[in-house]
């Protein structure tokens, strides 16, 4: 990290000027002010709930104040830049992904296992979440907080319009549905083939023939071209693509366009993470079935596949936060409290990693996704994020677009993926 110090120190003023509510400098903040860095700005998923619970915390703790720093997708770079200038926030709310996978090892964030135990919070966390947030050296990177589901949404009204009676569960049935939908002028499946949403879906379909052990190996080290199971999975993906599964121009689309296609009923299917499911319009929600993506009859999984995750957002303590440990403890313990957690579940549709919480009655489609995603009718495939090295993530997203380009060969696809690991 020292190599980046000069550039980070020079850039920090510009970053903080655009992302911070008030100046961010631990040397000028009083000890009763906790600086929290997150994506929960006004208008974002969960932003209104976050603002409400911050006001509640300040009411319940007179004299304590939360100063918020908001960043969008650049939050990883923003945090690193501020950390290198020793002006990072005290608490960071962010997912375990890409750059954050290396922070504990680099000393950018301290492990929090001792605090979880000393603050008597261990019993609140699902054991699987503790495992997911623990690195290979046994260090708990952050306080587990939010997870996610990532199933397939299917608009049954559009299927019926095309004469498709049943939601497909195998790739053969899917190909039949694709032909019927195309004959009626309906795009079968929308996807952001040029960003993270397309990358995750490519890896999901590829796992149709990829065993969990082989998936973990290639996600961690590459070698897609040399792995027969991966090549068979890429051939499956290419066959579905060239049969007309995806919306036109999928290789250039992003997640926002994908969501709009499904929300406006221009496509019959969409893989959707739970935070997106919470935003499905009521009319579309009524027609939506939650399921997994169809799998080949001779593949690695017996039932339609999907992702489940435990690493959507964690509560990270920073070096500055350890200098305000009393206030950090109060705020983090507050965010773990059942009534506070329930507000995020009820009003934002977040899937939380904490025990003894009830499903959302206000967002039934999200609650349905939780039931289906952990039920007997689907198979959970390996989530790439836990294994893909941080430096590979962005190049891998760029390589994904190649796979969505019509008639691209499986050799070209695997070479693009492997190049991402060498770049």
Number of CB atoms found within 10 A of residue 166's CB: 9
pLDDT in tens, 231-264: 999 999 999 999 999 999 999 999 999 999 999 9
Structural domains of the chain ordered from first start: 2-146+311-362 (3.40.190.10), 150-308+367-422 (3.40.190.10)
pTM (2 d.p.): 0.86
State both tokens at 368.
């349905």
Q: CA dist 389 to 45, 87, 312, 393, 416, Å?
A: 27, 27, 17, 7, 16
Contact 197, 258 (CB under 8 A): yes
In SS3 terms, 376-408 reads as CCCEECCCHHHCCCHHHHHHHHHHHHHHHCCCC
pLDDT for 159 equals 98
pLDDT for 145 equals 97
Please provide the average confidence, as pLDDT, over all residues in the chain.
92
pLDDT for 25 equals 58
Confidence class of residue 267 from pLDDT cuts 50, 70 and 90? very high
pLDDT for 274 equals 93
Confidence class of residue 5 from pLDDT cuts 50, 70 and 90? very low
pLDDT in tens, 335-376: 999 999 999 999 998 999 999 999 998 999 999 999 999 999
Q: What is the DSSP string of 177-189?
A: HHHHHHHTT-EEE
Cα radius of gyration rounded to whole Å, the chain? 22
Q: Where are the alpha helices (DSSP H) in 20-89?
A: 47-60, 75-84
pLDDT for 24 equals 54
Decide if pLDDT at 277 tops 50: yes
pLDDT for 221 equals 96
pLDDT in tens, 288-341: 999 999 999 999 999 999 999 999 999 999 999 999 999 999 999 999 999 999
Please write down the long-range contacts of 10-19, taking CB distance under 8 Å and 24 or more positions apart.
11/81, 12/81, 12/82, 12/84, 12/85, 12/87, 15/77, 15/78, 15/81, 15/82, 16/69, 16/82, 16/87, 19/69, 19/70, 19/71, 19/74, 19/78
Structural element, H or E, at residue 91: strand 91-94
Decide if pLDDT at 10 tops 80: no
pLDDT for 423 equals 76
Decide if pLDDT at 161 tops 70: yes
% of the chain beyond a pLDDT of 90: 85
Give the alpha-carbon dihedral of 175, 181, 183, 187, to 10 degrees: -110
Confidence class of residue 28 from pLDDT cuts 50, 70 and 90? low
The residue ranges of DSSP E strands in 226-304, in sequence order, are: 267-271, 288-291
Contact 255, 196 (CB under 8 A): yes
The residue ranges of DSSP E strands in 157-272, in sequence order, are: 187-189, 267-271
Decide if pLDDT at 6 tops 50: no
Closest CA to 274 of 315, 314, 316, 312: 312
Q: Which of 14-28, 374-388, 396-410 has the lowest mean pLDDT?
A: 14-28
């Amino acid at each position: 990290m020292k190599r980046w110090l000069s550039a980070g120190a020079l850039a920090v003023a510009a970053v903080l000027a655009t992302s911070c509510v008030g100046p961010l400098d631990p040397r000028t903040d009083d000890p009763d002010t906790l600086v929290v860095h997150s994506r929960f700005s006004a208008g974002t998923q969960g932003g209104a709930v976050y603002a409400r619970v911050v006001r509640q915390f300040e009411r319940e703790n007179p004299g304590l104040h939360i100063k918020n720093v908001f960043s969008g997708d650049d939050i990883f770079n923003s945090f690193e830049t501020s950390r290198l200038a020793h002006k990072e926030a005290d608490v960071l709310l962010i997912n375990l992904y890409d750059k954050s996978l290396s922070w504990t090892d680099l000393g950018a964030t301290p492990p929090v296992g001792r605090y979880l135990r000393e603050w008597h919070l261990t019993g609140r966390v699902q054991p699987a979440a503790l495992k997911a947030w623990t690195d290979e050296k046994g260090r708990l990177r952050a306080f587990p907080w939010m997870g996610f589901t990532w199933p397939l949404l299917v608009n049954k009204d559009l299927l019926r319009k095309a004469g498709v009676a049943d939601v497909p569960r195998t790739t053969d049935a899917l190909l039949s549905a694709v032909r019927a939908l195309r004959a009626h002028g309906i795009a079968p499946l929308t996807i952001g083939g040029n960003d993270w949403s397309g990358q995750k879906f490519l890896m999901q379909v590829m796992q149709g023939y990829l065993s969990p052990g082989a998936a973990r190996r290639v996600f961690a080290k590459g070698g897609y071209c040399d792995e027969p199971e991966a090549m068979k999975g890429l051939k499956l993906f290419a066959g579905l693509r060239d049969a007309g599964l995806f919306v036109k121009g999928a290789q250039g689309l992003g997640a926002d366009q994908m969501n709009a296609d499904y929300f406006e009923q221009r496509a019959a299917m969409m893989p959707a993470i739970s935070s997106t499911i919470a935003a499905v319009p009521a009319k579309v929600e009524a027609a939506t079935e939650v399921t997994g993506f169809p799998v080949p009859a001779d593949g690695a999984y017996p039932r339609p596949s999907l992702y489940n995750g435990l690493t959507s957002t964690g509560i990270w303590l920073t070096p500055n936060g350890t200098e305000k440990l009393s206030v950090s403890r109060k705020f983090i313990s507050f965010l773990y409290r059942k009534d506070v957690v329930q507000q995020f579940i009820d009003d934002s549709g977040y899937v939380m990693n904490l025990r003894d919480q009830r499903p959302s009655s206000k967002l039934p489609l999200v609650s349905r996704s939780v039931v289906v995603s952990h039920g007997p009718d689907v198979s959970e495939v390996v989530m790439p994020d836990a294994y893909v090295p941080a430096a590979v993530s962005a190049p891998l997203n760029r390589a994904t677009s190649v796979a969505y380009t019509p008639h691209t060969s499986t050799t070209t696809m695997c070479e693009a993926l492997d190049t991402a690991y060498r770049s």
